[in-house]
Copies of this chain bind each other. A is one copy, B any other.
Amino acid sequence: MPTIVVDVMPKAELLDPQGKAVSGAFSRLGVSDFTSVRIGKRFELTVDGEVTEEVLAEAKRVADEILSNSVIEDVVGIEVVA
């Protein structure tokens, strides 16, 4: 069944305490290849049937209105996977 993946990330100008915590853990564990870490959410919406233009438009709508909080988060991607 096709799946629509919606990616939501904290806005770039906001602190991301969870990401900072992982970044701190990296330092303590000697992992030095990554200068920063940000953590967001990945939603997998399963579609029963075909992904029509309407279904995709509905996915965009719920991504903006239900799955993300536009005050603190951005929807950074919506894509259909097989």
Contact = CB atoms under 8 A, between A and B. Distances in A.
Interface of A: 1, 4, 7-9, 19, 22, 25-26, 29, 31, 33-48, 54-55, 58-59, 62, 66-67
Nearest to A4: B34
Nearest to A76: B42
A67 to B, nearest CB: 7
Contacts of A39: 41-44
Contact of A45 (B25, B29, B37, B44): B37
A8 B35 CA distance: 20
B9 A33 contact: no
14 contacts: A1-B35, A7-B42, A19-B43, A22-B67, A25-B66, A31-B62, A36-B46, A37-B43, A37-B44, A38-B44, A39-B42, A39-B43, A40-B42, A41-B41
